[in-house]
């Protein structure tokens, strides 16, 4: 796994020795290809940050700042090592994502929010992705014309969500990426067509 492009392009990233599932290079490349110039100057929030690869890729491609939230201590240590390796700076918070959103949501501080929550593997398992879409903290943390990029498993069913509009949905093997804007947004961010 490596940074794909930008100032840290080609630098390898470490993986934590945990059960975390990092975003594959192919998927990350497709996400950032679709975002195009929307990354430049953006304030980024990376929820369930894992290795930090999404925020690090955004910083490498010109994002202004990044906040990474991850509950797993070993993963937080790896994120710190990856930031040091790439010579990029970010705010890393080792805490539960929903506790962070309860405390910090509502500030409309971010232009891009990445979320790669654990996949619900069994019927009846906790659906973190659906919880995020219902969470007022996520909605409040995103700028009016911002973009939420959510990564889910291929069989994930998009719940009814009156506050979000899915403007792009693309599958890559067993992974799907969904791009959401607030329904109240007057403008939809320009996305590259693949």
3-state SS of the chain is CECCCCCCCCCECCCCCCCCCCCCHHHHHHHHHHHHHHHCCCEEEEECCCCCHHHHHHHHCCCCEEEEECCCHHHHHHHHHHHHHHCCCCEEECCCHHHHHHHHCCCCCEEEEEECCCCCCCCCCCCHHHHHHHCHHHHHHEEEEEEEEEEEECCCCCCCCCCEEEEEEEEECCEEEEEEEECCCCCCCCCCCC
Architecture of domain 25-182 in this structure: 3-Layer(aba) Sandwich (3.40)
What residue ranges do the domains of the chain occupy?
25-182
pTM of the model: 0.88
Q: pLDDT in tens for each of the 194 residues of the chain?
A: 888 888 887 788 888 776 666 667 788 888 998 998 999 999 999 999 999 999 999 999 999 999 999 999 999 999 999 999 999 999 999 999 999 999 887 777 899 999 999 877 776 778 888 899 999 999 999 998 899 999 998 788 888 888 899 999 988 888 899 999 998 755 545 554 44
């Amino acid at each position: 796994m490596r940074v794909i492009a930008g100032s840290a392009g080609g630098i390898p990233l470490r993986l934590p020795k945990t059960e975390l599932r990092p975003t594959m290079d192919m998927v990350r490349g497709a996400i950032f290809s679709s975002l195009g110039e929307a990354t430049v100057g953006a304030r980024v929030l990376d929820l369930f940050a894992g290795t930090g690869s999404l925020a690090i890729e955004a910083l490498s491609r010109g994002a202004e700042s990044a906040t990474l939230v991850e509950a797993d201590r070993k993963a937080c240590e790896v994120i710190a090592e990856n930031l040091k390796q790439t010579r990029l700076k970010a705010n890393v918070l080792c805490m539960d994502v929903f506790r962070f959103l309860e405390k910090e949501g509502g500030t409309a501080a971010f232009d891009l929010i990445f979320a790669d929550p654990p996949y619900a593997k069994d019927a009846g398992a906790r659906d973190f992705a659906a919880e995020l879409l219902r969470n007022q903290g996520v909605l409040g943390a995103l700028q009016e014309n911002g973009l939420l990029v959510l990564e889910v498993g291929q069989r994930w069913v998009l719940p009814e969500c009156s506050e979000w509009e899915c403007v792009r949905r693309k599958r890559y093997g067993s992974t799907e990426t969904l791009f959401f804007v607030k329904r109240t947004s007057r403008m939809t961010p320009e996305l590259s067509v693949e």
